Amino acid sequence: MNDDDLDTLRDLRRDPPPMDASVRDGIRANLLTLTDGAPEPARAPRAGMPRRAVLPIAAAALLIVGIGVGAAVVRDTGGASGGIQAASYHRPGPHQWIYVKRTLARGSSMSTWNKGVILTVRAGQEEWYRVDGQAVATIDQPGGRLHVSKSIGKAQDTGPAVLDGAYRSPYSFANYGDLPRTPDALLRHLSGTWDPSRIPPQVSENVFVLVTRMLRDPLPLPLRQELFELLPRIPGVVVRPGLTDLAGRRGDGFSFTDGGERQTLIIEPGSFRLLGTGRDSVADHRVAGGLVKKGTVLESTAVLECKVVDEAGRR
């Protein structure tokens, strides 16, 4: 083994071997025990602050890589679990790209956004974002031409995350390998990411959003597993097993409710890949003057493919 081989092993964070089924099932059982019989906490809207003013999950993802966040299709069905196919993990280079293909539910019009989306009306979406955070690419409609633009949400290498007109994540492929290697230590680390002089102290929501952002990258299995085990440790997060995403795949749901809106991730057990994300209304509330009724699905997205490619436009 030469020095290059040793460097490669260090980059992979001394990854442990994949879990067998019995260990994985034990972890899931322990996660579900955390919320067994416990009702989802109700939280009143914060006085004087418009909803989604603090690090909105949709805005966070859109500003970083243009990824539209959606509400999970929350229904318990007997359908089979589906996974996202991806090659074995290798750390991508800074000038490579992450290709993401998804499907999302659409609303009838922008003027009736508060009525939610129509789950049977769907649109496909393809995007590329460069690993170093310097550029994003989309397919122009109509025309189908590739459009590459400079990213406005470049990841920072050091320092606290700030909300400065655009959300920036301090974590990327450049430093994922430096993160703590246990869920409790990682939660403490992420909770200390936010600069209290710039970000209001809604740490739980901020950490939930940050974990969502990280799971949108094609991460190595050990880090995905660590984030999966971290999620139910975030104060206010509720485990919701057996949720189905927009593509009909079942997974474990993790939800965070603030005011009248609930944000949800659906993760595939075993692979710990992000299947879908969501946002729905759990109580009547007003946003920007519009009434959003309880039960309204505001956004719904399923991630169909996520992988590393050599250049924008490659699939």
pLDDT bracket for residue 160 (50, 70, 90): very low
Q: Is the predicted pLDDT of residue 272 greater than 50, yes or no?
A: yes
Give the per-residue pLDDT at 139: 87
Tens-digit pLDDT profile for residues 74-125: 433 333 333 343 445 578 999 999 999 999 999 877 777 788 899 999 999 9
Residue 244: phi and psi, rounded to 5, are -115, 130
Start-to-end CA span in the chain (Å): 34
Query: What is the residue-wise DSSP string for the chain?
Result: --HHHHHHHHHTTTPPPPPPHHHHHHHHHHHHHTTTTPPPPP-PPPTTS-TT-SS-HHHHHHHHH-PPP---------PPP-----PPP-PPPTT-EEEEEEEEEE-S-GGGGGG--EEEEEEEEEEEEETTSSEEEEE-TTT--EEEEE-SSPPPSSS-B-BSSSB--S-STTTGGGS-SSHHHHHHHHHT-B-TTTS-S-HHHHHHHHHHHHHTS---HHHHHHHHHHGGGSTTEEEEEEEE-TTS-EEEEEEEEETTEEEEEEE-TTT--EEEEEEEESS-EEETTEEE-TT-EEEEEEEEEEEEESSTT--
Residue 97: phi and psi, rounded to 5, are -125, 150
Tens-digit pLDDT profile for residues 14-55: 444 455 555 455 555 555 544 444 444 444 444 333 344 334
Tens-digit pLDDT profile for residues 175-188: 999 999 999 999 99
